[in-house]
């Protein structure tokens, strides 16, 4: 069944606040709009299959539109503002303006969640400088893993993405977190490769995660927040995940080897 897509002017780019284990009460700003757009199409993406896979930057939602939507928000209900939403926020050409506008209106720290695919672009690295925290996805340790988990556009490869992340890390003045999603336990060799990469990137924090809910197969606008679809829906696809103990053990090992704070969700597991 084809889903109806909202015209941009009917689209509300502000959602939540939603409760996040990483950020507390997080108000979301969706700089991408009603059509999910990203250079990746991750196998676990809660948006379902990405509708527009691209690395082309453009203005998707005007800063004025976002500014208008933010007027209804009481800053007292918000701990942090997060740019994520319907795809990759660094695709938005007005990213720096949106961050500046959110900070001026709400006086809260702004976090950008990015998959890191555009960090090789100096304009993207420069736009992110105004964010208080940038959390960069790093799920893969090779091209093969990148293709299997993140399924990027053809012009992207693992080596150039990692080079972009390292370049960003060397200049970014805010807090840099790396986010890694584990779909299955990593063997000792992969763990050692990951720890070596961490030592080269030197983020301020690492956030390990694993899928905690099934994935929608097709676009669900409400998947920007915390809402969960009814279990048993044919639109839901179960995902592989790792248990809490595995995440915890890996987190302890990363901290032991790098000294970098490594967090993971307190999953409610049966």
Give the interface with ligand SF4 as residue ranges (CB under 6 A). Answer: 38, 40-42, 45, 47, 50, 87-88, 115, 137
Q: What angle do CA 58, 35, 32 make, to 5 degrees?
A: 45
Nearer to ligand SF4, 50 or 95 (CB): 50
Q: Closer CB to ligand SF4, residue 90 or residue 262?
A: 90
Q: How far is the CB of 247 from ligand SF4 (least distance, A)?
A: 18
What six digits make up the tokens of 206?
């690492």
Residue 100 Cα to chain centre, angstroms:
19
215 closest CA partner among 88, 37, 45: 45
Q: How far is the CB of 12 from ligand SF4 (least distance, A)?
A: 18
For residue 44, the minimal CB distance to ligand SF4 (Å) is 7
Residue whose pair of structure tokens reads 């679809």 in the numeric block: 229
The answer to whether 248 and 185 are in contact (CB under 8 A) is: no
Nearer to ligand SF4, 136 or 206 (CB): 136
Cβ at position 239, least distance to ligand SF4 in Å: 12
Which CB atom, from 87 or from 203, has the smaller least distance to ligand SF4?
87
Closer CB to ligand SF4, residue 150 or residue 169?
150
Q: Give kind and range of the element (H or E) at residue 252.
A: helix 244-258
Which DSSP symbol is given to 109?
-
Separation CA 9–CA 135 (nearest Å): 29
Give yes or no for a cis peptide into 245 (omega within 30° of 0). no
Kind of pairing, strands 110-114 and 80-83? parallel
Q: From the CB of 53, what's the least distance to ligand SF4, in Å?
A: 9
Rg (CA), the chain: 18
Pick the closer one to ligand SF4 by CB: 114 or 262: 114
Give the nearest distance from C-beta 153 to ligand SF4 in angstroms. Answer: 11
């Amino acid at each position: 069944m084809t889903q109806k897509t909202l015209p941009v002017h009917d689209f509300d780019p502000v959602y939540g606040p939603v409760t996040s284990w990483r950020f507390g009460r997080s108000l979301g700003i969706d700089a991408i709009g009603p059509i999910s757009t990203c250079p990746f199409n991750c196998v676990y993406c809660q948006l379902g299959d990405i509708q527009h896979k691209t690395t082309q930057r453009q203005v998707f939602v005007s800063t004025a539109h976002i500014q208008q939507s933010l007027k209804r928000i009481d800053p007292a209900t918000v701990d942090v503002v997060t740019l994520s939403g319907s795809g990759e926020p660094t695709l938005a050409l007005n990213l720096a303006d949106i961050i500046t506008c959110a900070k001026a209106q709400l006086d809260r720290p702004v976090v950008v969640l990015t998959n890191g695919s555009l960090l090789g672009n100096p304009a993207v690295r420069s736009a992110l400088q105004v964010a208080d925290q940038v959390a960069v996805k790093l799920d893969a340790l090779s091209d093969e893993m990148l293709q299997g988990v993140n399924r990027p556009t053809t012009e992207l490869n693992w080596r150039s993405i990692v080079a972009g992340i390292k370049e960003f890390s060397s200049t970014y003045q805010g807090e840099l977190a790396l986010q890694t999603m584990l779909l299955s336990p990593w063997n000792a060799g992969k763990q050692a490769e990951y720890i070596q990469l961490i030592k080269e990137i030197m983020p301020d924090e690492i956030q390990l995660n694993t899928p905690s809910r099934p994935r929608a197969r097709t676009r669900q606008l409400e998947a920007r927040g915390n809402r969960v679809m009814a279990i048993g829906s044919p639109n839901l696809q179960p995902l592989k995940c790792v248990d809490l103990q595995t995440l915890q053990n890996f987190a302890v090992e990363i901290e032991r080897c790098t000294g970098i704070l490594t967090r993971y969700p307190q999953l409610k597991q049966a």
